[in-house]
């Protein structure tokens, strides 16, 4: 499959431009200046629930094919920078026992393999590598017997009998071959959905009220005549399917992307919005102290030991984590081609190709064999490209104008109509006894993650609240030995969209736990590393702690609370660790310097020890750890989305900054591989990276970072903002 996504039933570049007897050129000439008000009924508006089948051996047989002396791996995962295209090809080559060049690796479309679940949760190697290896082993033996692909039958064999995971010398697994598609990226070859070009393609955009789609909004008026007069105007589309939650959408279609801006300006739409909110309203909904004043118990329990509230606490800290964006470099985009009108080809940059087929098919009344969805490499997703948004917009506009339509969100749309990391508010109370943890109480409030309000109406989300939200709870499980622990949380639906963000709750919850552990060590008068090791029962967690300490030379670091001062610069070092999804382990050490005059923080160096079991591609695992550490830097120093005028206020990276290259520290990654089965690496180090930075700031200037991101006003003696 190339970037244009051609396949059985997909229009080719050279075919006739006919559309049921009307050429595209003729259609555009007729449609120019027209307003299309379509009367398609949306049908049942219940949200489409994603299907998440397990990776089965029978399905894996369809991932690997043989013909004309070559093998083709149809990747059962989405490629979004984690480079699973390379990793699973390594597994295939190892098990097939063939040279690298003999296997072609391709991304999947909805009709090229059986349904697979969304690419989320760092699951690709853990859940898909072994079924693939089993299928490859069966194919290798079938080819040796002279049997064809249609005779292939895979029978599960012990993991120890698979070449890809067998101890000893391996040709591909554990090595670092060149990244698949790496040269294509460097040379700018078409890989992404924004690169797709179709014959006669036009460009679309859906306009909405400048308010969160959680608020009901509708169009009051627009200047259609002025819009039609703009050169390049094709059509104006009114269709109830363009609504996003309670926000009415109005579609515009133009011959060029540049014309869309001019048409939007000329159209000058006026909107009516019901209700409103500001930042104080959002903050109030998740105020943990307000919730504790109303009730001592939370609705959902992670740890539920009996824990008395009477008596003083040795440590009591509140933490506030703000709304934060995914900030992918690639804004989401989709291309829809209605072909001859009997079906549709849809080109997407989504984490779940099959979910796009389900949603668009249901909304447009298309069967699975009428709708072909082609996956493309994604330029950043981080959990944010899991639901159906721009894909349905493109499909609706394409059906209306009966021509291929590309819709690409602007950066402002990414911020204002996508979902984000939910803000959360935490209060942690701890009692110590003879320098050891005795009682741990963690209460927090967040908004929904897995049951995102970007796809689930309020009434339906209310039902899910009875079972909680595992995404919100992720990472709140205390990995340390303690006499009694009680952790609980409440869920609040917010008027801004919230949902999966890299690691889900693991980043914020890990930040809170590891910040408190650092403070406990200080109160106990024990080194931060030794305090953790004294409370760890898990040998793998202790292993990464020791490994990162050795790499960073922890024992040679200044003692806790000691500071070096030179020209107003203070230095500090912090450590943190954690377990991701009970499968992968990470520990991070960070060195920082703080300018006491300006309050500026610079992270100078970071070390990470990472244990995800058997490492398939060492360089790519290191790259994922490095990415997680940069996310940790951003989490503490820059991440945050402001809310104003009933919407996310940011419209550009200037208003929601990312760490710059000059803010990225020198990094070292130590891979701990003790022969355990492979797990996930994509999000693991996020459980420790941010807290290591915050703990280093505490070491440098004696200030505990409790409200993110860091503000210079937190330094003693500086005026409040």
User: How much is the average pLDDT of 243-259?
Assistant: 97
What fold is seen in the domain 22-40+192-274+332-408? Aldehyde Oxidoreductase; domain 4 (3.30.365)
- What's the DSSP call for residue 54? -
Mean pLDDT rounded to a whole number for the chain: 91
What is the tens place of the pLDDT at every residue in 73-129? 999 999 999 999 999 999 999 999 999 999 999 999 999 999 999 999 999 999 999
What is the per-residue pLDDT for 30?
37
Q: How far apart are the first and last CA of the chain?
A: 55
- Whether the pLDDT of residue 472 is over 70: the answer is yes
What is the per-residue pLDDT for 179?
95
Region label for 275, one of left (φ > 0), alpha (ψ between -120 and 50) or beta (otherwise):
left
d(CA 640, CA 708): 8
User: How much is the average pLDDT of 599-605?
Assistant: 96
d(CA 332, CA 512): 32
> What separation in angstroms does the CA of 90 have from each of 99, 178, 179?
10, 11, 11
Domain ranges of the chain: 22-40+192-274+332-408, 57-184, 286-324+421-714
User: How much is the average pLDDT of 582-593?
Assistant: 97
What fold is seen in the domain 57-184? Aldehyde Oxidoreductase; domain 4 (3.30.365)
d(CA 268, CA 558): 61
Backbone angles phi, psi at 442, to 5 degrees: -125, 115
What is the per-residue pLDDT for 20?
35
What dihedral do alpha carbons 393, 396, 402, 407 form, nearest 10°?
0
What is the per-residue pLDDT for 24?
38
Side-by-side strand order, sheet with 424-433: 300-304, 484-491, 436-446, 424-433, 315-321
* Cβ contact 377:192 at 8 Å: yes
**pLDDT classification of 600: cutoffs 50, 70, 90:** very high
d(CA 340, CA 342): 6
What fold is seen in the domain 286-324+421-714? Aldehyde Oxidoreductase; domain 4 (3.30.365)
What is the per-residue pLDDT for 168?
83
Region label for 333, one of left (φ > 0), alpha (ψ between -120 and 50) or beta (otherwise):
beta
What is the tens place of the pLDDT at every residue in 269-319? 999 999 999 999 999 999 999 999 999 999 999 999 998 777 899 999 999
User: How much is the average pLDDT of 611-632?
Assistant: 97
What is the tens place of the pLDDT at every residue in 348-375? 999 999 999 999 999 999 999 999 999 9
Read off the pTM: 0.91
- What's the DSSP call for residue 482? -
* Cβ contact 527:540 at 8 Å: no
Helix (H, G, I), strand (E, B) or coil at 237: strand
What is the tens place of the pLDDT at every residue in 153-174? 788 999 999 999 998 889 999 9
- Whether the pLDDT of residue 492 is over 90: the answer is yes
């Amino acid at each position: 499959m190339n970037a244009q996504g051609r396949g059985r039933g997909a229009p080719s570049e050279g075919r006739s431009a006919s559309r049921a007897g009307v050429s595209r050129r003729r259609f555009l000439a007729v449609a120019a200046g027209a307003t299309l008000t379509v009367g398609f009924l949306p049908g049942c508006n219940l949200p489409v629930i994603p299907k998440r089948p397990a990776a089965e051996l029978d399905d894996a047989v369809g991932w690997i094919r043989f013909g004309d002396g070559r093998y083709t791996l149809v990747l059962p995962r989405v490629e979004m920078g984690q480079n699973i295209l390379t990793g699973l090809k390594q597994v295939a080559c190892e098990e097939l026992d063939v040279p690298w060049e003999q296997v072609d690796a391709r991304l999947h479309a909805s009709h090229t393999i059986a349904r697979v679940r969304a690419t989320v949760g760092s699951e690709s190697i853990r859940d898909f590598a072994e079924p693939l290896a089993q299928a490859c082993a069966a194919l290798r033996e079938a080819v040796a017997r002279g049997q064809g692909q249609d005779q292939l039958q895979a029978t599960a064999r012990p993991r120890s009998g698979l070449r890809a995971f067998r101890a000893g010398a391996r040709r591909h697994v554990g090595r670092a071959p060149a990244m698949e598609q790496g040269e294509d990226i460097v040379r700018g070859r078409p890989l992404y959905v924004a690169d797709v070009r179709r014959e006669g393609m036009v460009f679309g955009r859906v306009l909405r009220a400048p308010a969160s789609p959680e608020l009901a909004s509708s169009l009051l008026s627009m200047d259609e005549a002025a819009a039609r007069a703009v050169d390049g105007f094709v059509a104006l589309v009114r269709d109830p399917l363009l609504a996003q939650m309670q926000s009415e959408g109005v579609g515009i279609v133009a011959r060029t992307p540049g014309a869309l801006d001019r048409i939007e300006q000329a159209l000058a739409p006026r909107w009516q919005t019901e209700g409103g909110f500001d930042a104080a309203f959002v903050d109030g909904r998740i105020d943990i102290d307000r919730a504790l004043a109303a009730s001592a118990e939370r609705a959902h329990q992670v740890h539920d030991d009996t824990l008395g509230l009477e008596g003083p606490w040795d440590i009591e800290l509140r933490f506030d984590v703000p709304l934060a964006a995914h900030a992918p470099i690639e804004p989401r985009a989709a291309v829809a081609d209605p072909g001859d009108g009997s079906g549709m080809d849809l080109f997407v940059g989504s984490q779940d190709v099959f979910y796009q087929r389900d949603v668009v098919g249901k909304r447009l009344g298309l069967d699975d064999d009428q709708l072909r969805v082609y996956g493309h490499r994604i330029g950043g997703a981080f959990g944010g490209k899991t639901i159906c948004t721009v894909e349905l917009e493109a499909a609706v506009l394409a059906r209306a104008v009966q021509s291929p339509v590309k819709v690409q969100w602007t950066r402002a749309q990414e911020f204002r109509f996508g979902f984000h990391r939910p803000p959360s508010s935490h209060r942690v109370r701890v009692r110590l006894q003879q320098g050891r943890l005795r009682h741990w109480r963690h209460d927090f409030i967040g908004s929904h993650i897995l049951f995102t309000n970007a796809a689930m109406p309020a009434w339906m989300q209310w039902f899910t609240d009875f079972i909680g939200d595992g995404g919100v709870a992720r990472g709140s499980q205390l990995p340390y030995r303690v006499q009694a622990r009680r952790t609980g949380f409440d869920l609040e639906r917010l008027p801004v969209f919230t949902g999966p963000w890299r690691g889900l709750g693991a980043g914020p919850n890990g930040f809170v736990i590891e910040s408190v552990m650092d403070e406990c060590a200080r109160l106990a008068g024990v080194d931060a590393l030794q305090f953790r090791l004294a409370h760890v029962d898990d040998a793998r967690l202790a292993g990464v702690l020791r490994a990162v300490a050795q790499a960073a030379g922890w024992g040679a670091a200044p003692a806790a609370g000691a500071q070096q001062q030179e020209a107003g610069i203070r230095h500090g070092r912090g450590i943190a660790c954690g377990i991701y999804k009970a499968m992968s382990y990470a520990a991070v050490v960070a060195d920082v310097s703080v300018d006491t005059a300006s309050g500026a923080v610079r992270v100078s160096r970071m070390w990470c020890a990472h244990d995800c079991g058997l490492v398939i591609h060492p360089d790519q695992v290191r790259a994922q750890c490095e990415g997680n550490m940069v996310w940790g830097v951003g989490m503490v120093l820059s991440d945050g989305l402001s809310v104003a005028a009933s919407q996310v206020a940011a419209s550009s990276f200037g208003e929601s900054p990312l760490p710059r290259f000059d803010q990225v520290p020198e990094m070292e990654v130590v891979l701990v591989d003790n022969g355990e089965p492979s797990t996930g690496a994509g999000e693991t180090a996020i459980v420790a990276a941010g807290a290591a930075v915050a703990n280093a700031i505490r070491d440098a200037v004696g200030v505990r970072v409790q409200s993110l991101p860091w503000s210079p006003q937190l330094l003693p003696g500086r005026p409040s903002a």
